[in-house]
């Protein structure tokens, strides 16, 4: 007995299958959906792939089989062989565009950091000073307050230790602490407080507005927090970074509480 073969209507004999994106199936089957066309009748056969290739880009591949002569619609099953090639082409194009984008950016000059040394304050001798008075030497700048219970003493000890490690080179830079609590930190009080950590650390204070402007220039966070246990019924919440600025007051780097002393010393020496 001759084997029977399933034949499609003449209108469905394809000249060339065309892939389009629809829904993503999981097994290889064919679903037929007849559509109308002004040019010629055609049928759509959906090929369900065994595994997804790039689910975000192709969720189902279907073959539109247009009317024609000489080709069997079973050829649509071979279309899945072209899908990996199509995906590779798309990924290669995307990768090339990304590499071009990186190369284009690499030729750009780096943007200037938003952090800058700009202030108008009062030193521990009661003299008005600005960043111009410290120009010509790199600066190490820390924002804190004398009533700070733990963070400030720890960071000031690290700053004093850095100055000790620099030895004679410590004279080639300015070490500065700017208070964030001008209400309590008067010039004379800051002088006594800072001398306990290192005689080379300069203290700066000022009005509340002057402190706000200085903190804004360095992008420093600080806020007054109520504290019933404090003698003044409040404390200060603030960031704990030591800023390394060059001789022109431009940002170079910063040291967090986790920065190792040897790293601080290495980065600072590069500017001296």
- For 60-108, the pLDDT digits (tens) are 444 433 444 444 555 555 566 667 777 777 877 776 665 555 444 434 4
Residues 6+ apart with CB under 8 A from 165: 261, 265
- Is-contact 176 201, C-beta < 8 A? yes
Pairing of strands 32-35, 42-47: antiparallel
CATH class of 120-269: alpha beta
Q: Where are the beta strands (DSSP E) in 171-245?
A: 174-179, 201-205, 222-226, 234-238, 242-245
- pLDDT band for position 114 (50/70/90)? confident
What's the rounded Cα separation, in Å, for the pair 267 and 171? 16
- Is-contact 161 154, C-beta < 8 A? no
Q: What is the mean pLDDT of the chain?
A: 76
This prediction has a pTM of: 0.60
Residue 130 has which token pair? 């600005």
pLDDT of 197 higher than 80 = yes
* CATH 3.40.30.10 domain residues, the chain: 120-269
Of residues 263 and 2, more confidently modeled? 263
pLDDT score of 109: 45
Pairing of strands 201-205, 174-179: parallel
Residue 14 has which token pair? 């394809």
pLDDT digits (tens, 9 = 90+) for 38-48: 344 444 334 44
Residue 48 has which token pair? 């369900």
- pLDDT band for position 175 (50/70/90)? very high
Helix, strand, or coil here: 42? strand
Of residues 43 and 156, more confidently modeled? 156
DSSP 8-class letter at 38: S
pLDDT of 272 higher than 50 = yes
- Indicate the Cα dihedral angle 237, 242, 244, 248, nearest 10°: 40
Helix, strand, or coil here: 101? helix
pLDDT of 25 higher than 70 = no
Q: What is the mean pLDDT of residues 122-127?
A: 96
């Amino acid at each position: 007995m001759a084997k029977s073969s399933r034949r499609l209507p003449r209108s469905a004999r394809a000249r060339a299958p065309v892939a389009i994106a629809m829904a993503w199936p999981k097994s290889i089957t064919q679903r037929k959906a007849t559509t109308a066309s002004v040019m010629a009748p055609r049928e759509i056969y959906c090929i369900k792939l065994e595994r997804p290739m790039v689910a975000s880009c192709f969720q189902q591949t279907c073959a539109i089989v247009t009317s024609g002569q000489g080709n069997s619609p079973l050829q649509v099953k071979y279309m899945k062989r072209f899908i990996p090639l199509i995906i590779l082409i798309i990924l290669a194009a995307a990768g090339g565009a990304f590499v071009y984008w990186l190369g284009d950016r690499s030729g750009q000059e780096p943007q200037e950091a938003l952090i800058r040394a700009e202030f108008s304050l009062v030193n521990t001798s009661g003299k008005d000073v600005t960043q111009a008075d410290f120009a010509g030497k790199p600066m190490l700048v820390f924002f804190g307050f004398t009533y700070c219970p733990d963070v400030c003493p720890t960071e000031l000890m690290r700053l004093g230790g850095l100055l000790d490690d620099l030895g004679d080179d410590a004279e080639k830079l300015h070490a500065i602490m700017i208070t964030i609590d001008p209400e309590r930190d008067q010039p004379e009080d800051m002088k006594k407080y800072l001398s306990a950590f290192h005689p080379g650390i300069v203290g700066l204070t000022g009005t509340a507005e002057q402190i706000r402007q200085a903190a804004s220039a360095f992008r420093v966070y600080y806020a007054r927090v109520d504290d019933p246990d404090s003698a003044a019924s409040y404390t200060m919440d603030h960031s704990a970074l030591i800023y390394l600025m060059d001789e022109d007051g431009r940002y170079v780097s910063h040291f967090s509480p986790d920065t190792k002393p040897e790293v601080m010393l290495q980065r600072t020496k590069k500017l001296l």
